[in-house]
Amino acid sequence: MKSSNAINILPLTVLFLSISRGLIALLMGGMSTQLLYYGVTAFGITVSLLGITRKKAQILGGKKLYHLLAINVLVYVYWIAADLLLGGGTDAVVYFLQMALIPFVIYMFLNVNEKVLVKLLFVVSMIITLSCVLDFILLNTNIIPHGRDWYSWYASMIRQGNMPFLTHVAYVYRATGITGSMHDSGNLMAILVVFWFGMIMTRRGLRYAFISMPVFVAGLLMTFSVSNIVAASAGVVGITSYQLRHSTRRTIAVIMGVVVIGGAMCLLAEYFLDFDLSLITTWALKLRSAGELKAMTTTGASDLGTDVFMLLAGHNVAVRISDVSFITEFAVLQMVYGSGLLVLIISLSLMLYPVYCFFKASRLARKMMLPAVAAVGVGVLSLWHYGSVIRSTNIFLFYAMFAIAIQNRARSQLSSRQNS
């Protein structure tokens, strides 16, 4: 095997392991689960650092991306040094690895053939979706006898070291999926649902994705992760709005086809499996709950002057002056109070770089970039709550989408030059 092909397998392996590590832990019988998770993360960071050596990918990404990555890592080196001096612990080191070093995995994904990457994305989409659907059926129906006992059995292996817990909205239990967290699974599904919706709206010959789309949506809804459902809805609306500006019969047919297939699947599930479809829509109760909204927007009792100062200065997790980063459920606030406003702006500029490229690109390039750019946008938008996108289960998927967007921009630019 050529060395170039061998090294291209590494990011694919990282992507698969990061998302399906829970499945691997289950196949191992729950032995050394936590060690497995640490090992996968360490492997991912190592592969990310190899991206620094990928000169061809750096050319493909362009100078702006290279400069953003360089500036990002420099400010985080300064940040981690200051944070450790102020008393920061292992959480600060983990955050540094997530925000400063893992982004270099972009250059590893840029070397991978897009068709191969898309096929792997479909595989992991099915794994995470089916795990969410299975969880939901076990916890909320009698389709599988003793479902909750089965759930407790395998959840204890996936979540070794922590007792498996059940959370619910009203009387309906949430699906946690193979990641062991409804918010991580919900975030993965939000990004993937938007990506696949964009693909079937802009590409031909994706019948497998077209048929699977309603199942992906069902998997997302079954997590009851409202913040991610809202983010995915925004992504779908954005793609639809953009496509309808240049509406074709195919665009309208695709939208109607997804709705018809989804409706048919719902009717079949209700008739043959005696499945109560109203269970899936119970997540909407959280949107109408005043108590839930109040809990989400609570920021603590520290004074405004202190809160504003720590917003600008950062390092609040180390010095513990403001209440905000310990009380709020808004991930973006937790991040800014940990890193400081300037550092977070640089991080968000890097994460949103494909969106910048999208608006600077030609119409043809935008069409090719749209699915992955929308997925990236949903990932960043999901930072408004919980911040699963920067966890090691999800972050490699985010940067895979990032790389697909950049690949499509470069391919469209090359095609335009050849045709001119």
DSSP string covering 70-108 = HHHHHHHHHHHHHHHHTT--HHHHHHHIIIIIGGGHHHH
- Model confidence over 155-174: pLDDT tens digits? 888 876 655 567 767 678 88
For the chain, give me the number of helices (H) and strands (E)?
21, 2
Average pLDDT of the chain, as a whole number: 84
What share of the chain has pLDDT > 90, as a percent? 42
pLDDT tops 50 at residue 290 = no
- Model confidence over 205-219: pLDDT tens digits? 777 887 888 889 889
Rounded (10°) CA dihedral 373, 379, 384, 387: -160
- Which two tokens mark 161? 């070291």
Please name which of 201, 304, 204, 300 lies closest in space to residue 258, comparing C-alpha atoms. Answer: 201
As a whole number, mean pLDDT of residues 212-237 equals 88
pLDDT tops 50 at residue 1 = no
pLDDT tops 90 at residue 257 = no
- Model confidence over 82-138: pLDDT tens digits? 999 998 888 899 999 999 999 999 999 999 999 999 999 999 999 999 999 999 899
Spatial contact of 396 and 105, defined as CB atoms under 8 Å apart? yes
Q: State residue 264's pLDDT score.
A: 65
- Model confidence over 61-94: pLDDT tens digits? 999 999 999 999 999 999 999 999 998 888 899 9
Interatomic CA distance for residues 337 and 306, integer angstroms: 11
From 161-165, 188-192, 242-246, 379-383, the region with the lowest mean pLDDT: 161-165
List the alpha helices (DSSP H) in 176-248. Answer: 182-202, 207-222, 226-245
3-state secondary structure of 155: helix
Residue 172 forms beta bridges with which residues? 169
Q: State residue 316's pLDDT score.
A: 85
Spatial contact of 70 and 62, defined as CB atoms under 8 Å apart? no
Which tops the pLDDT comparison, 308 or 64?
64
As a whole number, mean pLDDT of residues 177-198 equals 91
Which tops the pLDDT comparison, 292 or 63?
63
3-state secondary structure of 172: strand
Please name which of 98, 103, 95 lies closest in space to residue 338, comparing C-alpha atoms. Answer: 95
Which tops the pLDDT comparison, 12 or 297?
12
Which residues make Cβ contacts (< 8 Å) with residue 159, sequence separation at least 6?
Answer: 33, 180
Q: For the chain, what are the domain ranges?
A: 3-288+352-419
Which residue has tokens 């969410």? 132
Interatomic CA distance for residues 248 and 329, integer angstroms: 42
* Residue 274's pLDDT band (cuts 50, 70, 90): low
- What is the residue type of 254? V
Interatomic CA distance for residues 128 and 182, integer angstroms: 11
